[in-house]
Structure 1
Amino acid sequence: MDDAVRKMREWSPPPPASPSLLVHSPRQTVSHLRRRRPHRDWDPSSGSPSFAARDHGPKPSEVYGFVGSITTVIATAVYLAWAYTPEPCLRSLGITYYPSKYWALAVPSFVIVAVALSMVIYMGLNFLATPPPTSFSTIFDENSRERIMFSPATEEERPIEPISDISVVQTNNLMFGNT
């Protein structure tokens, strides 16, 4: 036994395989990591990493979408089971506390009516914010530009006409002819 104890005391760890991997303090670890060259599985000249080199794993938005879809399916199944299962069957399963069956029809009806009314109110507010059809503000506004007429003397040297609005008179003449 003395030989085993003596061998244990004399034993020393083997020398490290590479001196760069021997780290003694957190500061040396950080400096070692900063000096280390990043490892790439892809050729930088190809432009994009290979499939194996890309980060794997779902994005949070994908996880929330998946969880949300599963939750919606489960909630719909529970709702339909509650709405269509007769009360004696629910009691025989041991379910004694549940909302009144009135709400199985009332809540969806209230939601549909609320959505329809909100659309009607939104369109009504838009009609209230729009000037009446007889108002000149539907024809002219602060950005309207009258067409500039050039004299026939400068007709050959006339530049490109600036952007302007077509007048109502010209539009009526084009559509309905000279009346």
Structure 2
Amino acid sequence: MFDAEYRMPEALPALPDDAEDSHPRCLEMAETMRDLFAAAGGVRSRDLIGAGFTWAEIVEFRDAAAKRANAASVREIHSRPDMVPDLIAKACTPLPHRPPLPRDTSETQALLVDWGRYCTARAALVLDPWAGQRERCLTVLASYLDRLPIFPAIRQTVIRKVETSLPEASQ
């Protein structure tokens, strides 16, 4: 008369929403949902049944498990501001998508354009090292650094370190 996998609602424990106190099957369903979503781009009831969950478990835990899966999948990333060694390292090996950004600096379009100009000048210098190109590279870097809220001494330190890392230019 009763299906072996059917559980009576009054027999279920009432558990709080804290992760430590959640039902183990709810936590397992949340992880399964994350895996299914990563693999297929969505989660269907038949996928959960195929993963070994019963209809009763799906009805009972679906909303809480989906909420947990979503919370576990979203990750906020806060990057720390670049310190002087970071400024030097990023200027010595420039990447267009990773501009040096010290504290109190936000990525503006003007900053990104200047950083892109420096990356382009640096790439041109690597391909064809000559004295004019080397000077242009340092001038464009100085222009970018002028936009940052850093002390002039730090600006000069970064330029000196980058100058020593540049390829030697032919006359």
TM tier relative to shorter chain: under 0.3
Larger relative contact order (Cα-Cα within 8 Å, sequence gap ≥ 6):
2
By percentage of residues, which structure has more helix? Answer: 2
Larger Rg: 1
